[in-house]
Structure formats: C-alpha cells, structure tokens
C-alpha cells in the first residue's frame, strides 16, 4: 500500500512537472515578417530580434522619398545584431553613445519579448529615441529592452532618418508626393509594421504605447496630433520633449514652401552650400548622388543652432506636423488616449539676455515677481537664473500646458518630474539633467554608470521602470506597492516627483514660476 502511495506521488510530481514545462513553452526563434523569415536569439529569459528591415534602404533615388516596401530576402535572415543607426555625426559626450557605425541604409526595427509563450497577447511599448533630430539611434546600451521583456512587455525600437536626410524640401521634389518630414514618415511606417507583425511576436497590436525622450518626445506629440497615425497606438508618454511651446531661440519652425523662410528655400541654400546650383530635376539628381557624409556636413547637436543650411527639425506641412504642439493640441487636435508627460529638474534651457537686469526686464510688468521667484536672495549668477528661466520656458511649462489641455477635455493624463540624481553625480549636479531619466525608465543604470552604480540608483530604476510598465499594461501608472500617482488636474496641479527619497505625489512646488511663464506666453512675450 505504501509502495502504491509512493508511485502515485511520483506520478503526481511528474504530471506537475510536465504541466509546468508546457506552461513555460518557449516562443519560436523564427518568425515571418515582411520580406521573409528572421531568426532571433534567446538570452537570459528574453528573445531579442535585432536589425529587421521595416522599409527599403532610403538611398539613391529613395533619398528624400517616403519609406518604400522591404525587398524580400531568401532563406532565414539572422536578426542577431543591430542594423546601422541612421547617418549622422555623433555628438561627443552623448548620454546614449551609439554602438554601430552610422549609415544611410538604416531603417531597421528591433523587438524584445519574454522567452516563454503567453496565453494572452502582451502589451507593446515602442521607443522613439532623442538626439535633437540630428543624432541618435537604437543601438545604445541604455535602450536595451530586456528589462521590459522580463516584466511582460514586448519592447520595440526603430531607426528614423535624421538631419538633412530626415527633414528636407527642394523645388524639384515638390510635385513628387509627400515631401519634407521624412523622419515622421519613417516613424509612421514603423508603427504600421508593428500593427501588422507584432502579433507574431506575441504582442497585442491593440495595446501599444509609444514613448520618446527629447526629439523622441516631440515626435510623440506630432504622432498624437496627426490623423495619419490615428489608431496605431493607444497610449503615449512624452519625456522632456523639447520645442513643445515653440519658444526656443534660434530654432524657428519653417513652413514647407513659399517665402525665404520656407524649408524649400533652405533646401536650395543647402544645395548651393554643397556646390550644386539650379532647382530642377538635374540638381536633385546631383544632390542624391552626393556621398552621405557630405550631406551630414558636420551637423550634430553641438553645431545645430549655428547651421543656417538645415531646417532645425520638423517642417510645418499641415499633414504630419501642424506647428507648435502646445497650440495645436489646445485647438482640439490630438488622439484622445491616456498620456504621461514630464521633464527633469535640471532640464534644457537658457535665455539670450546678457545681464540679470535685462533678463528680468524681459518679463515686463512681472519683472519684480520674476526676480522674487528666480533670485529671492539676490545671490544667483546670470548663468544660474538663465538656466532656471530657460528650462521653465523651453521644457517644463509647455509640458504642464499640454497636461492641462488633455485634462480639460477629460483625457487621463499624468505629469511627472524626475529630480533623482545618481549618487556618483551628486557633487557635480544640482538637479537631474536632460536625458538622465532614460536609464531609470529602461532599468539599465549599470549600462550607463558602470561600477559607480549604487544600490540607491538600482532601486530608483526598478521603481521608475515599474510605473512605465504599469501604464503600458493598463493605462494607469499604478504598480503594486508604490505611491499612488494622481491624475493631473489643473486646479490641484499635482504630479509625481521622482526624488532622492523615492517617488512623492505633491502639488507642483514650482507652480508659481510656471504660472509666470504661462502668463508671459499668453501675452506673446516669447512666442
């Protein structure tokens, strides 16, 4: 009798083991997409597919053309390494250094997912990198999607054209169809690829969150506004999106055509700078024949402001980019989806005035109020005050303005501020600089700080990452065991502040400064 019990117990254990093994069935490493079969790699519980083409190489006659269908390949294409990031001159000291040699043939997508199969399709997050629309790519180590995959999200990243390849107009192009914002055309093509194929990777094409930082955040704003992207995503996150208020000096927005300030005129200026005269098909053919490095022409984030042969990013075309996002969205345009939006405590910004007196005078009747808010003890330098005013006007107040717009029309919107400073940088930084939240969102802080990474840094990364994952899964950033993140409402002005002591839900401590910036914009002082 005892022997039978032991046999039954052994059979039960065997059955449990078989059931567990069945429940942990691995996803296939081979998947068919547009163009043919691709093979990924399984590493530490994650399956990664890298360097999958989502459009034909934009070279030759396809330089300055909308993305075209992928050319089919034979057999199974290894998807084990990143494809080249798009053509650029990387800026020294970039927070996210590339790990590829940039090239013009660059329209690739990458996918990370859990190695185990799931009964239900998983939420999808699509990352759009920053870099001022002149730098950036998907290869940086801090953008690795493995942590998202381990937490039950399918993470997608893709490349899009930059600089003079991504934003360009020219008279001979104007009758050829879509012209100008090739970067946004690439982004929409990548999102269409996600909608069509992400189900094969176990992702849910009807639960897609787009998120981006800096120029990537600006891209998210553009995708929210354009009807062309409608239905391609269901949630959106904007991290330190620059230019939302359209008030960055030396970076005006240009219309597509008509007049000396148009993108078309600037394209003619670029051609002349490169030694090509004329505006007809022959001139365009010679431009397309130039080596890619000639079109980069030293352009990157360090030189962009001084470059008068580049349009400085998005072109106003009434189809993919309608103008200043704060104003466009306030007019009622934009997808009605849940949104997270925020900035860093020491984000980008500066003012052009050459003295404190001139800077405060630029506030007009509010000069005394500005001095009391920005330099209450009268001890701050011009550089310190210029940075505080600049980041409020460039980044922080426009983000709040968009949060207010969305909240006023009933959208779920959540505002954050990232104030956490890595322990190794606390003697050097007075706040969290631009882009420093990214390794915490991706939970890749060790990839950036290496041996200097502290336990506190890792803990903040796990916490912040968990809010992003929760939002992707449910549309509400409410991870278990963490402080509640209140919906943004204009009358309470509450946000979630990621501080050195953890996340804190609070009324915005800078609201009086931002109210001042908002009032200045309302009377047209900046815009």
Q: What is the dihedral of CA 296, 302, 305, 309, to 10 degrees?
A: -10
Taking the C-alpha atoms of residue 278 and residue 275, their distance in angstroms, rounded to an integer, is: 10
E strand or H helix that includes residue 117 = none
pLDDT at 524 (0 to 100): 54
Neighbour tally for 494: CB within 10 Å: 18
Both 364 and 504 in a single domain? yes
Please say if the pLDDT value at position 19 is more than 80: no
**Backbone Cα Rg of the chain:** 24
The dihedral over CA atoms of 288, 289, 292, 297, expressed in degrees to the nearest 10, equals -80
Query: End of a domain among 303, 318, 337?
Result: 337
Q: Can you tell me the mean pLDDT for 109-115?
A: 97
Q: What is the pLDDT of residue 522?
A: 65
Assess if residue 359 is contained within a domain.
yes
Domain around 523? 347-527
Which CATH number does the domain housing residue 165 bear? 3.40.50.1820
- Residue 1 clears pLDDT 70, i.e. is over it: no
Adjacent-strand bridge partners of 111:
49, 156
Question: Are 178 and 326 in a shared domain?
Answer: yes
Q: Are residues 86 and 209 in the same domain?
A: yes
Q: Which of 171-180, 183-192, 246-255 has the lowest mean pLDDT?
A: 246-255
The encoded tokens of residue 111 equal 């996918």
Does the pLDDT at position 13 exceed 90?
A: no
- Domain limit, last residue, from 278, 305, 337: 337
pLDDT number for residue 523: 56
Q: Does the pLDDT value for residue 17 go beyond 70? A: no
Residues 93 and 305 sit within 8 Å (Cβ to Cβ) = no
Write the pLDDT tens digit of every residue in 466-490: 999 999 999 999 999 999 999 999 9
pLDDT reported for residue 258: 85
Q: Is residue 213 part of a domain?
A: yes
The reply to whether 430 and 290 lie within a common domain is no
What is the tally of structural domains in the chain?
A: 2
- As a whole number of angstroms, the distance between CA 459 and CA 466 comes to 11
Domain end, chosen from 337, 357, 392, is at 337
């Amino acid at each position: 009798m005892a022997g039978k019990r032991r046999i039954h117990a052994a059979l039960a254990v065997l059955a449990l083991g078989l059931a567990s093994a069945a429940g942990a069935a691995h996803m296939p490493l081979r998947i068919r997409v547009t163009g043919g079969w691709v093979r990924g790699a399984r590493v530490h519980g994650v399956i990664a597919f890298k360097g999958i083409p989502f459009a034909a190489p934009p070279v030759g006659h396809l330089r300055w053309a909308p993305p075209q269908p992928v050319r089919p390949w034979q057999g199974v294409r290894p998807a084990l390494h990143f494809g080249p990031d798009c053509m650029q001159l990387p800026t020294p000291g970039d927070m996210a250094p590339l790990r590829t040699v940039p090239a013009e043939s660059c329209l690739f997508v990458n996918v990370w997912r859990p190695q185990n199969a799931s009964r239900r399709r998983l939420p999808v997050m699509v990352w759009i990198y920053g870099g001022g629309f002149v730098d950036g790519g998907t290869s940086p180590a801090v953008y690795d999607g493995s942590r998202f995959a381990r937490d039950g999200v399918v993470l997608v990243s893709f490349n899009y054209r930059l600089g003079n390849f991504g934003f360009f107009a020219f008279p001979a192009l104007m009758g050829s169809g879509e012209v100008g914002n090739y970067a946004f055309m690439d982004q929409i093509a990548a999102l269409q690829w996600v909608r069509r194929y992400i189900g094969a990777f176990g992702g849910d094409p009807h639960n897609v969150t787009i998120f981006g930082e800096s120029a990537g955040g600006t891209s998210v704003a553009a995708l929210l506004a354009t009807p062309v992207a409608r239905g391609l995503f269901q949630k959106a996150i904007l991290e330190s999106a620059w230019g939302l208020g359209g008030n960055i000096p030396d970076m005006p927005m240009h219309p597509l055509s008509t007049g000396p300030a148009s993108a078309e005129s600037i394209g003619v200026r670029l051609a002349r700078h490169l030694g090509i005269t004329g505006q007809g098909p022959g001139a365009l053919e010679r431009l397309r024949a130039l080596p890619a490095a000639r079109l980069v022409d030293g352009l990157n984030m360090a030189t962009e402001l001084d470059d008068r042969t580049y349009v400085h990013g998005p072109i106003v075309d009434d189809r993919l980019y309608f103008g200043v996002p704060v104003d466009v969205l306030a007019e009622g345009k934009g997808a009605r989806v849940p949104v997270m939006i925020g900035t860093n405590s020491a984000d980008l910004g500066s003012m052009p005035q050459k003295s404190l007196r001139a800077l405060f005078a630029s506030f007009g009747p509010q000069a005394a109020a500005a001095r009391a808010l920005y330099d209450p003890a009268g001890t701050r330098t011009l550089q310190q005050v210029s940075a505080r005013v600049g980041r409020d006007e460039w980044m922080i107040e426009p983000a709040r303005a968009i949060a207010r717009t969305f909240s006023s029309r009933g959208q779920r919107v959540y505002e954050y501020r990232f104030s956490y400073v890595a322990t190794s940088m606390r003697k050097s930084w007075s706040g969290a600089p631009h882009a420093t939240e990214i390794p915490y969102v991706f939970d890749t802080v060790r990839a950036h700080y290496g041996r200097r990474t502290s336990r506190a840094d890792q803990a903040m990364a796990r916490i912040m990452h968990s809010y992003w994952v929760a939002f992707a899964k449910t549309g509400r950033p409410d991870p278990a065991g963490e402080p509640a993140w209140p919906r943004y409402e204009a009358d309470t002005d509450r946000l979630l502040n990621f501080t050195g002591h953890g996340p804190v839900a609070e009324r915005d401590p800078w609201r009086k400064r931002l109210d001042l910036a908002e009032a200045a914009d309302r009377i047209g002082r900046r815009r």
